[in-house]
Structure 1
Amino acid sequence: MTAFFAAEPEEAQALKEALGATASLEAPFPLYQGEGVLVAETGVGKVAAAMAVAHVLTRFAPKESFFLGVAGALDPALKALDLLLAERAVQWDVDLTPFGRAPGETALGVRFFPSDPGLLARAEAAARALGFPYRLGVVATGDRFLADPEEAGRIRALHGADAVEMEGAAALMVAYRFRHPMALLRVVTDGAGEGAALDFQAFLGEAARRLGLLARALAYTEKG
């Protein structure tokens, strides 16, 4: 079984429709099942994402997982609806530097949590087949919607991040602790600066549609 996670209702609905996940399961968040797949609507933020991933991995033990959603671009070369396949993600709002840690480094001694390379390779193949513009990169995760260009620039410089969002690094951290293969995949909706909230709303629908098509391609290649 493959688990698919998304934070926003629009994202999760697109995944449900694309994957035929119509059976509602009992869980502390919206959770749906289809043939060989689970779709979890985690809710927004690091705590919500971590809780949902831990629950699914503990209760259902899926073979592999994908966390899909939208992100704001930190790299100006990324355009709206570009797909960013996260090689790794960092929590930009974790700060243990008074204890000698690097910015974003957790108490585990890990700063960047990786996506599974095999799942990323499958995502690259699916993106190529769908004709979606994509690139590999680094995601920065924090519990705040970023709409400040100066702070966006600081986060990019500090962590080498290409995009910013609110769940990915927390989800990958749980997968890391569970030794579970997961990949983080994001579609760009905005530039994480002035006007980010409006751009987010404008592009969310089409971004969610693309995520659904990507999820269906990933589920198909897993079964094939």
Structure 2
Amino acid sequence: MIAIISAMNIENEAILALCHDVKEKTIGNKKFYEAVLGDEKVICCLSGCGKVNATISTTLLLEHFPVDAILNIGTAGGLKEDENVLDCVISTSVVEHDFDTSALDGEAGKGAFFEADPLLVNTAKTVAEEMKIAYHVGLIASGDQFISHDEQISKILNDFPESLCSEMEAGGIAHCAAHYGVPFVVIRSLSDIAVKEGNEMDFEEYAKKASERSAQFCEKCVARYVKK
């Protein structure tokens, strides 16, 4: 069974709208939805905001359901000038950019890294190409901070210059998936590009477009991954 973890309720609802045989189950005040997407069984849930909430959701998910792989979808802020709003970022790895034990461990103590599953990464790339979605593949920076100030952006890019985007949940999900030995990939739609001007979109308009597209993306990813 593939788990689909969404960052926003609108994303979760868009996926469930494509599903049938939906069964809701509440565990530890978190709601999980067993369903059939296309021809495949999936389990859907919300991550909650921030790495700790995301870790709680992922732990409950992996402890109570037979999960073979995790797709994590959501929104991020872009960190590269060649990116545009509604572009897709596919993780090869995730770094917790606010994890820092450098006072004890030196530079090696900056960041906690987790590698995405190559098969899931390639599946996501194939689907993005099929759907004609502009995409970028690489490092996603994750931390318990909404990144909006120049000094925050500069710190991330100074510490982890390969970062393509920043967001708040992937680190917890990736950390938890690695602990349980479950393959994962993080897929983020870009709502803004921090290093460019004139790239804004009304968030409600963005969220509707991104959520509907993400749901279709997930359906295609699940079908392709299961067949491989």
Indicate whether the TM-score tops 0.5.
yes
Structure 1 unmatched runs, 5+: none
Query: What's 1:23 paired with?
Result: 23
Give me the whole-angstrom Cα distance separating, in 2, the residues matched to 1:222 and 1:123: 9
Letter in structure 2 aligned against 1:128? E
Q: Which structure features the higher share of strand residues?
A: 2
Structure 2 unmatched runs, 5+: none
Letter in structure 1 aligned against 2:214? L
Give me the TM-score of the superposition, normalised by structure 1: 0.90
Give me the whole-angstrom Cα distance separating, in 2, the residues matched to 1:126 and 1:52: 26
**Correspondence 1:80-159 to 2 at 5 A:** 80-102=85-107, 105=110, 111-159=112-160
Letter in structure 2 aligned against 1:18? L
Instruction: Please tell me whether residue 190 in structure 1 is matched to residue 195 in structure 2.
Output: no
State whether residues 47 and 170 of structure 1, in contact with CA within 8 Å, keep that contact through their aligned partners in structure 2.
yes
**Correspondence 1:206-217 to 2 at 5 A:** 206-217=209-220
Give me the whole-angstrom Cα distance separating, in 2, the residues matched to 1:215 and 1:154: 32
Q: More deviation in 19-28 or 211-220?
A: 19-28
Give me the whole-angstrom Cα distance separating, in 1, the residues matched to 2:74 and 2:221: 15
CA RMSD of superposed structures (Å):
2.2
State whether residues 21 and 32 of structure 1, in contact with CA within 8 Å, keep that contact through their aligned partners in structure 2.
no
Q: More deviation in 45-54 or 22-31?
A: 22-31
Query: What's 1:176 paired with?
Result: 178
SS at 1:190 equivalent: strand
Give me the TM-score of the superposition, normalised by structure 2: 0.88
Give me the whole-angstrom Cα distance separating, in 1, the residues matched to 2:91 and 2:61: 21
SS at 2:99 equivalent: coil
SS at 1:26 equivalent: strand
Letter in structure 2 aligned against 1:203? Y
